[in-house]
Amino acid sequence: MTQPAQDLPPIPAPLTQPESDFYWEKCKANELWLRHCKSCDQAYFYPRDICPNCFSRDTDWIQSSGQGTLHTFSIVHRGPTPVFRDRVPYIAAIVEVESGARIPTNLVEIEPDPALIKIGMAVEVVFQQLDDNINLPMFRPAS
Ligand SMILES: [Zn+2]
């Protein structure tokens, strides 16, 4: 049985960048926001000023519904670093949200059993507080 996360040493927090400060501020409020390109009308992840689809700088922010679908996943049985070794098995995933934006994340609140996890399943965002500055968005099966 996997140890409860609160009994484990913390995972390394993401290093925030000026381009993503707004994103992390909204995550602290348990809101998921995406960058959006006004030229090609695509949302994208990770947050950056230049659209990866058309390279426009005419971008803004949109609030995600937090609803998405599981694009792909992998059940991790060997942690890449000591802090992750005690967490296995866990589910590394890519979730697709508004207009095809894909977020690398973890799938949580489901057993890491490939018979239970389905590509395309509906998922919803949940936030895990890492420290005073970072609430990390993760996804669970939609209720
Ligand atoms: Zn664009």
pLDDT tens by residue, 63-100 = 999 999 999 999 999 998 988 998 999 999 999 998 78
Residue 2 maps to a domain? no
Residue 10 maps to a domain? no
Mean pLDDT of the chain: 93
Distance 102 CA to ligand 1 centre (A): 15
Residue 5 maps to a domain? no
Dist. CA 16–CA 29, nearest whole Å = 16
Residue 1 maps to a domain? no
| Confidence bin at 53 (pLDDT 50/70/90) | very high
Dist. CA 90–CA 49, nearest whole Å = 32
Structural domain including 76 reads 16-141
pLDDT at 106: 97
Would you say residue 14 has pLDDT above 80? yes
pLDDT at 98: 82
Residue 30 DSSP one-character state = T
Distance 44 CA to ligand 1 centre (A): 9
Distance 53 CA to ligand 1 centre (A): 5
Distance 76 CA to ligand 1 centre (A): 34
pLDDT at 2: 47
Query: Which stretch of 14-18, 38-42, 58-62 has the lowest confidence by average pLDDT?
Result: 14-18
Q: What's the number of domains the chain is made of? A: 1
Residues around ligand 1, an ion, CB closer than 5 A: 37, 39-40, 51, 53-54, 56
Exposed e or buried b per residue across 80-100, where buried means at least 16 C-beta atoms within 10 angstroms of its C-beta: eeeeeeebeebbebbbbbbee
